[in-house]
């Protein structure tokens, strides 16, 4: 929810990671379909034969793991957490109001609402409901899932709302008027597609969507950015930039910051390489920064966060550094930067946030948080000050700021055993104050958190967090759940989960989070160490953590489970096929698994920079070493596995989990389970009840198989 008033070279990546819209080649039956794959028919996502198979699989899995008092209790206790009125209603400031989206038992699809700061400070604030999604669904006979809003500053009266028909990335965009709390008649409107839209002024928006054949990239995202004028048909929108089919995505944005209004076009070539242009007087002016850097303009400043070392202006700045210069000076050709952050062996920059006069850095030190405040000085230097008070093994994150108007900031403070608190402060006016505090959903006094380091196969030290009962008996008998991700420079930091506390820890289990390579825990170097041909490093790291847990006596293979989703689902597939001897059960959720076909399924082409191109024979040589669908074999002692996916996932898609389950069952494996939710997109569910069912199913499966 952090306010973003800057442009970023990686803006399109951020949109894709959080979800944009409709998928490319949803049938999956297009290019490069192998004739020797007997399960291709499961790639027909909504086909009658495929859906009959899904329904039959769901019934078997439901009967085995969900038709029991234990499952019902676990599901209901998780749902209590998700629906609790005592949860923190996280907010985003827009002008004089604090906006929130809220789901609970009475409003499963949610309320979009706002309140004032004075009201929000109260134990039970009064909210002004702007849109009731459940009421909208009843009125329209739909199943809309709210996917966010873009409101035009500075008055924030007109908004572009994104509504997904099933929780997937495809959204319908509608213009909404806040004063009347209604959709604008004949306002801006986009039918369901993978779309991106943003305000220029009250009568113009930038739009990227499915304009017709050839207008989307092979990765399934907009290839063309246009300006659309109110009152004209979409077909009359004028083109600003047209990318290539093999680009990842193209987008255009307008910065409405008073006195610093600028327009930008971002061309994402892949997840980690982009070009950005300022659009000025009808001309495109390239920002001359490395293609793999993230650059952001804010008021008079240009900040560049580096993924690789950059020599410029007579100086060399290291990978992972954050450097700053005056925007106008840079565009005039000057190349003198100030280093705001430089990483070392233990630290990495997680993110940063502007206030009106300051910059807050979010820094990870061996995967634990600290915040630094930087203030530009008249002589061109930046003053540094560390914010005190971060608890041990915690994550402190800037949730929101108000950079146009004040030095206000909002912090989330949490840890594995520390329920999150929401703090508000104003830089220069003393310490932040707790505004909201989440209740404890389980008794944390019985547990303790520790951090460990293990040496991976190539000698690299890999950290992991362990949450376990106090005075744990190291006799190898503890049911232990090992979680990981390891991709796309995404970090796994300490975070509180009432669901894990109730469904796993309170039952006596141990929970472990592995900070393997491929993630961003130590910056770009940690991510790049497991890219493409080096992908196996991530899996070696995860296996090393598993072996260390066994060696230390925390658990044993029969009692060790593993869980991961999306890229983490690919991790689980490789634990299943490469290290089956280490695990007693595996939960593999919304996964990539068929790495031979992945670029031809849903949005798979967008991940070539991460995994490689399997259509290139040279690259397939290394990709096949971590492609579970190709590597699964008959006659191996595989641990029990649950594949979980959703029909509406238009990012990874359900077909990979379907095919893997069918292939293993076809080989005669009995302990292979499958469940597919029809809604939810690339996530746990379209509402809290669906999410609770999914989580409970995974935990009950793991708990049952690890006994």
Q: Is 68 a catalytic residue?
A: no
Give the helix/strand (H/E) hosting 696: helix 688-705
Give me 142's structure tokens. 């739909």
Determine how β-strand 560-565 pairs with β-strand 480-483.
Answer: parallel
* Helix (H/G/I), strand (E/B), else coil: 376: strand
Residues with Cβ < 8 Å from 517, sequence gap 6 or more?
Answer: 456, 460, 462, 486, 526, 527, 529, 530, 537, 538, 541
Cα angle at 167 between 97 and 213, to 5 degrees? 105
d(CA 670, CA 268): 44
Tell me how crowded residue 257 is: count the other CB atoms within 10 A of its CB.
Answer: 17
What radius of gyration, in Å, describes the C-alpha atoms of the chain?
25
Q: Is 682 a catalytic residue?
A: yes
Give the helix/strand (H/E) hosting 690: helix 688-705
**Which of 162, 164, 566, 606 is an active site residue?**
566
In order of 263, 573, 576, the CA distances from 637 in angstroms are: 58, 14, 10
Q: DSSP code of 640? A: P
In order of 469, 549, 654, 690, the CA distances from 482 in angstroms are: 15, 9, 24, 23
Give me 514's structure tokens. 């592995």
d(CA 197, CA 253): 8
Give me 43's structure tokens. 């790639």
Tell me how crowded residue 184 is: count the other CB atoms within 10 A of its CB.
Answer: 15
* Helix (H/G/I), strand (E/B), else coil: 610: helix
d(CA 546, CA 523): 23
* Helix (H/G/I), strand (E/B), else coil: 18: helix
Residues with Cβ < 8 Å from 645, sequence gap 6 or more?
Answer: 589, 590, 591, 652, 654, 656, 657, 658, 675, 676, 677
Residue 224: beta bridge partners?
242
* Helix (H/G/I), strand (E/B), else coil: 229: strand
HSE (CB half, 13 Å, CA atoms) of 473?
Answer: 6
Q: What are the φ/ψ torsions at residue 376 (nearest 5 degrees)?
A: -65, 140
**DSSP labels, 71-109:** HHHHHHHHHHHHH-TTS----EEETTEEEEEE--SS-SS
d(CA 273, CA 291): 5
d(CA 83, CA 107): 9
d(CA 345, CA 348): 9
Closest CA to 409 of 396, 430, 423, 421: 423
Omega into 154 within 30° of 0, i.e. cis?
A: yes
d(CA 325, CA 297): 10
**Which of 24, 269, 559, 682 is an active site residue?**
682
Hey, which residues are catalytic here?
566, 682
């Amino acid at each position: 929810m952090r306010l973003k008033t800057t442009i970023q070279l990686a803006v399109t990546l951020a949109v894709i990671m959080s979800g944009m819209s409709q998928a490319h080649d949803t049938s999956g039956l297009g290019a490069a379909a192998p004739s020797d794959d007997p399960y291709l028919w499961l790639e027909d996502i909504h086909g009658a034969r495929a859906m009959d198979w899904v329904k039959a699989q769901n019934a078997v899995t439901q009967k085995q793991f969900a038709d029991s008092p234990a499952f019902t209790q676990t599901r209901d206790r998780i749902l209590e957490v998700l629906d609790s009125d005592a949860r923190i209603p996280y907010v985003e400031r827009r002008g004089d109001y604090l906006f929130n989206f809220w789901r609970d038992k009475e409003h499963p699809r949610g309320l979009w609402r706002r309140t004032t700061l004075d009201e929000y400070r109260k134990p039970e604030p009064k909210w002004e409901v702007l849109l009731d999604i459940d009421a909208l669904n009843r009125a329209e006979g739909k199943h809309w899932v709210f996917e966010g809003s873009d409101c035009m500053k500075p008055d924030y009266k007109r908004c572009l709302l994104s509504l997904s028909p099933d929780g997937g990335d495809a959204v319908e965009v509608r213009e909404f008027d806040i004063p009347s709390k209604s959709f604008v008649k004949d306002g801006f409107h986009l039918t369901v597609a993978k779309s991106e839209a943003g305000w220029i002024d009250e009568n113009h928006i930038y739009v990227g969507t499915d304009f017709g054949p050839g207008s989307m990239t092979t990765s399934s995202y907009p290839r063309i950015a246009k300006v659309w004028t109110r009152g004209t048909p979409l077909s009359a929108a004028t083109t600003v930039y047209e990318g290539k089919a093999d680009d990842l995505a193209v987008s255009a944005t307008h910065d409405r910051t008073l006195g610093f209004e600028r327009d930008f076009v971002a061309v994402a070539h892949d997840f980690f390489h982009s070009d950005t242009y300022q659009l000025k007087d009808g001309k495109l002016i390239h920002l001359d920064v490395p293609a793999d850097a993230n650059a952001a303009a804010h008021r008079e400043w240009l900040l560049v966060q580096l993924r690789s070392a950059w020599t410029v202006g007579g100086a060399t700045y290291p990978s992972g550094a954050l450097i700053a210069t005056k925007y106008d000076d840079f565009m005039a050709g000057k190349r003198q930067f100030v280093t705001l952050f430089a990483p070392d062996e233990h630290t990495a920059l997680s993110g940063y946030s502007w206030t009106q006069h300051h910059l807050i850095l979010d820094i990870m030190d061996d995967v634990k948080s600290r915040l630094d405040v930087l203030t530009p000085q008249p002589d061109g230097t930046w003053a540094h000050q560390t914010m005190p008070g971060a608890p041990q093994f915690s994550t402190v994150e800037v949730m929101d700021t108000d950079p146009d108007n004040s030095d206000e900031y909002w912090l989330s403070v949490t840890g594995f055993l520390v329920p999150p608190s929401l703090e508000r402060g104003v830089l220069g006016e003393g310490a932040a104050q707790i505004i909201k505090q989440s209740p404890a959903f389980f008794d944390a006094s019985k547990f303790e958190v520790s951090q460990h380091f293990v040496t991976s196969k190539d000698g690299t030290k890999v950290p992991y967090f362990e949450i376990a009962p106090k005075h744990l008996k190291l006799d190898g008998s503890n049911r232990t759940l090992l979680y990981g991700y390891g991709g796309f420079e995404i970090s796994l930091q300490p975070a509180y989960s009432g669901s894990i506390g109730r469904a796993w820890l309170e039952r006596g289990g141990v929970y472990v989070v592995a900070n393997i390579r491929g993630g961003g825990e130590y910056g770009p170097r940690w991510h790049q160490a497991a890219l493409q041909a080096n992908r196996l490093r991530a899996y070696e790291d995860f296996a090393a953590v598993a072996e260390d847990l066994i060696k230390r006596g925390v658990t044993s293979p029969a009692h060790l489970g593993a869980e991961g989703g999306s890229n983490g689902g690919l991790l689980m597939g490789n634990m299943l096929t490469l290290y089956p001897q280490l695990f007693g059960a595996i939960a593999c959720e919304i996964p990539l698994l068929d790495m031979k076909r992945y670029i031809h399924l849903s949005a798979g082409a967008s991940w070539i920079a991460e995994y490689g191109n399997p259509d290139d024979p040279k690259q397939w040589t290394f990709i096949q070493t971590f492609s579970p669908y190709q590597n699964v074999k008959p006659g191996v002692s595989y641990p029990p596995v649950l594949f979980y996916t959703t029909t509406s996932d238009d990012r990874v898609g359900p077909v990979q989990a379907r095919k893997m389950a069918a292939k293993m069952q076809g080989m005669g494996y009995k302990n292979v389970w499958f469940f597919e939710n029809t809604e939810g997109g690339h996530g746990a569910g379209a509402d809290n009840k669906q999410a609770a069912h999914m989580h409970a199913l995974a935990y009950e499966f793991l708990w049952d198989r690890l006994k």
